[in-house]
Structure 1
Amino acid sequence: MTKIDQAYRVIFLPWGRAQNSVKQGKYDGFFSASRNEWRDQFAVQSNTFIQQEWNFYYHNEYRIPTSVNSLKSDTLFGARIHSNSAHWLAKNKFKKVKIFPTINELVKLLDARRIDGVMENALLFEEQVRQSHLSMDAFVKRPNMRIDLGVYFGKTFLAKHPGFLARFNRHTEECRFDYQ
């Protein structure tokens, strides 16, 4: 934003409220977010500049089903409300998914074996494990997919600022971040 001489302010909100506030035109954008059809209705995603790894995480004592069908029908997953991982689990027909407000709750529930698995952003999950003073050794990680993230700018904001997104996109490569 500095490179394009754009004033900005970052406000931390619950994820669902951030998205709905942009939808209502109250705020200009939200980040970082992966593309989905619902968001595309009211906002436009910038060039992607953060690469995210989505992994399945299980408690190390959980017997992970060997077949995809069993995994989808028998494993109780936890997901964050309004997250793209919750959307992905539903879209891919995982049958047992419980929604919770925070990543903190998901890690605690998985550690306590109250849920069987989590499919989540690696950076978010692994940082929460560290903050919870747990060890990643307590969990089994299974890679799922890599997905790119960007900033979603509201269509209301973009209509008032023609050319903004093109200027913003010219500088995203300089800010690129890849999960290692």
Structure 2
Amino acid sequence: MLFALITAPHAVANPTKKIRLAAPIFPPYIFQTNNKWDGVGYHTVNKILNNANITYEIIPVGNYGKALDALIKGKVDGFFPATQNPVRDQHAQFSQPILINRWVWYMPNSEQLTPDMAEFKQQRFVSTPFKSNTHVWLSTHGYKVKGTLEIDNLPNMLLKKRLDAVLISQLVFETSAKNHKIPMHNFKQIVHSEKGFGIYLSKATLKNKPELLKRINQSIVELDNNH
């Protein structure tokens, strides 16, 4: 995490016009409890936007594909928490990173192949959150991929060998495993990469509000420096 997290109200003094941000349910980064938003990603963005005097509304969406589609259609001004990819870059601009997202491979301990082997790509089915950046990466790199919306059930499905492997955010998988009381020693783990989580803002929105991304990035830097 790049700076301390503090819960703050959405409305602030002298705010700019409210912006709409789509967010998929992606615990523990962002989720709802009793109709209230929660999670490390939510609290981080909430603090950033409040510090920048920007009011906002969160629009829940089913997955990252729907978040991007809503942005393209002008239904939202942006979405979060997101990692960067070329398709998203065509339609939106990426903020400074707000959190670090570590992608990790999870496999049964009995697995003899590694993800970089041709045999692994040919013989193993990999599950990952549907339409997420890991889904895009797996698809474009020749893996047999099964996108899923049952993110919280992935550790249990892998433990029961209903899946061959999972590529996912480390915090997401390990939080789900902990919730299901599944010890992590049941899985072989290989770190894939570390990527910055940020906020995507629509290029159409920024055309009308060119200062918006600058204000958000300034807020990120200020809060990071004060940490």
TM-score interval, normalised by the smaller of the two chains: 0.7 to 0.9
Matching residue's letter, 1:76:
F
Alignment-derived partner of residue 21 in structure 1 = 70
CA distance in 1, matches of 2:172, 2:221: 22
Change (3 A) 1:65 1:36: closer
Deviations 1:100-126, CA, capped at 9 Å, x for gaps: 123124333212101110111111111
Moved over 4 A (4+): none
Q: CA deviation at 1:127?
A: 1.0
> Which structure is higher in strand share?
2
CA distance in 1, matches of 2:125, 2:192: 17
Equivalent residues in 2 for 1:25-64, closer than 5 Å: 25-64=74-113
Change (3 A) 1:90 1:12: same
* TM-score using structure 2 length: 0.71
Equivalent residues in 2 for 1:27-106, closer than 5 Å: 27-65=76-114, 68-94=117-143, 96-106=144-154
| 2:188 partner SS | strand
Q: CA deviation at 1:175?
A: 5.2
Identity of aligned residues (%): 27
Deviations 1:46-100, CA, capped at 9 Å, x for gaps: 1112111111101223333486212222222112211111111122222x22221
Deviations 1:122-164, CA, capped at 9 Å, x for gaps: 1111111112221112211111111112100112222221211
Matching residue's letter, 1:127:
T
Pairwise CA RMSD = 1.9
Point out where structure 2 has 5 or more consecutive residues left out of the alignment.
1-48
* TM-score using structure 1 length: 0.88
CA distance in 1, matches of 2:169, 2:223: 19
* Structure 1 counterpart of 2:59, from 11, 24, 42: 11
Q: CA deviation at 1:33?
A: 0.9
Change (3 A) 1:164 1:106: same
CA distance in 2, matches of 1:139, 1:93: 23
CA distance in 1, matches of 2:127, 2:115: 19
Point out where structure 1 has 5 or more consecutive residues left out of the alignment.
none
